[in-house]
Amino acid sequence: MKIALFGQFGSGNSGNDGSMESMLNLLRHARPDCELICICSDPDLIEARYNVSSIGITGTTAQRAAAPRWTRFLKAPARKIAALFFLLSSLEGVDILIIPGTGILDDFQEHPFGWPFVVFRWCIAARLRRARVAFVSIGAGPVSRRLSRWFMKLAANSAGYRSYRDAFSRDYVKGLGLDVGSEGLFPDIAFRLPVPAVPPRTPGARLSVGVGVMQYRGWSKDASDATQIYETYIAKMTDFVVWLSTKGHNVLLLTGDVTDRIAMHDIMARIASREPSLLDLVCAGTGGTLQQLMCNILKTDIVVASRYHNVVCALKLGRPTISIGYAQKNLDLLTAFGQQRYSQPIQTFDLAVLRAQFKQIVTNVAAVQQEIETAGLAVQTSLETQEELLLKWCAEPAALRLKRPRRLSGAIGSTNGP
């Protein structure tokens, strides 16, 4: 059997790569007989880092990042036909296309002909190749543009297996007009990544706080107030880091995407101009993978973060966590761990409330840790159940593999989200 993993891997987002790594680990352990390939943003990086044959999203293999030069001389319609040919050729022999986790069905910072269209055409190409499609513990919504919703609806409808990492995602897909029936809710698959083997942190008199930052400029890629949104966010986060430092706490800045280094740099620069003496207590974390991120989090006692997979890793490691989130997914994740009281939206969060939330955690740290650890055990059990279901589905007899995807229902532009 030949299985392809598809997603925005190698793009610089550690959460996306960690989701792919988790699925790769499962398949290599449970189905060592399978041939595995990855269809991703940077096939050279993914092939080198994870030792898996990789194909670019244009249908080109690692070592050949662009389509052949002769396609440049084709007119637009002919180029589209050529592109479809490359996709179909790339999927030769593929039995199953798996989309492992990630918020694959939202349009954060995307135009319709960005990833919404990319996901659509690969799923359709897979069905034309008579390969089955699986969306595993995915996030969905919101999708702000009608055309993007149309692409994502048809892509999701191509799947013979779908599961969601939260109820909001399943409800959103249902609102698009698809029959979700009893499709499962299972936690984010990054929770199945192994914990890095590092020496345990030695508790000391000085509290260590991980602060995850991001280059947040609003949901839409072309938001007119993007700069204002970013400057407001950076100013607030800088004020919070300064407050933590003046209280004598160590601060470790965390990221989840290569673009977040800009936010990290901006915060450090503002601290240097305001309170240079505090820089002794503030340092920048390193790492472009979730394994490296977890190594950083293991050095902290409490985490405050915006990126979804920063929050995932913090909870996985039992760290009391406050979310400054840009989507419903962060709140749903904290709710699953009984921590919903420690959440605020990124564009309107209140510094006074954030400081109060932090103080409450410090006062009740042992009880909060116990709540997180108890919920974490349930998360692992749930994901073990999904792994059994998914592997069973992958091994279905040939007669069942050709079962048609579910019938569409409802209007194509419908949605239950913003």
Please give the mean pLDDT across all residues of the chain.
Answer: 91
Are 2-191+381-401 and 208-363 in the same CATH fold? Answer: yes
Give the phi and the psi of residue 132 in degrees, each rounded to 5.
Answer: -85, 155
Q: Distances from the Cα of 103 to the Cαs of 11, 135, 399, in angstroms?
A: 14, 11, 32
315 pLDDT band (50/70/90 cuts)? very high
Rounded Cα–Cα distance for residues 334 and 318 (Å): 12
85 pLDDT band (50/70/90 cuts)? confident
Q: Does domain 208-363 sit in CATH 3.40.50.450? A: yes
Average pLDDT over residues 128-141: 97
Q: Domain spans of the chain? A: 2-191+381-401, 208-363
pLDDT exceeds 50 at position 70: no
**Which tokens go with 19?**
């989701």
pLDDT exceeds 80 at position 298: yes
Task: Report the DSSP pairing between strands 250-254 and 208-212.
Answer: parallel
288 or 289, which is more confident? 289
61 pLDDT band (50/70/90 cuts)? low
100 or 66, which is more confident? 100
Q: What tens digit of pLDDT does each residue of 328-341 get?
A: 999 999 999 999 99
Secondary element (H or E) of residue 153? helix 146-157
Contact 141, 414 (CB under 8 A): no
The candidate with the shortest Cα–Cα distance to 19, out of 187, 226, 267, 252, is 187
Q: Output the pLDDT for position 68.
A: 53
Rounded Cα–Cα distance for residues 172 and 148 (Å): 14
**Which tokens go with 115?**
């990833």
pLDDT exceeds 70 at position 256: yes
pLDDT exceeds 60 at position 365: yes
Superfamily of domain 2-191+381-401 in the CATH hierarchy: Glycogen Phosphorylase B; (3.40.50.2000)
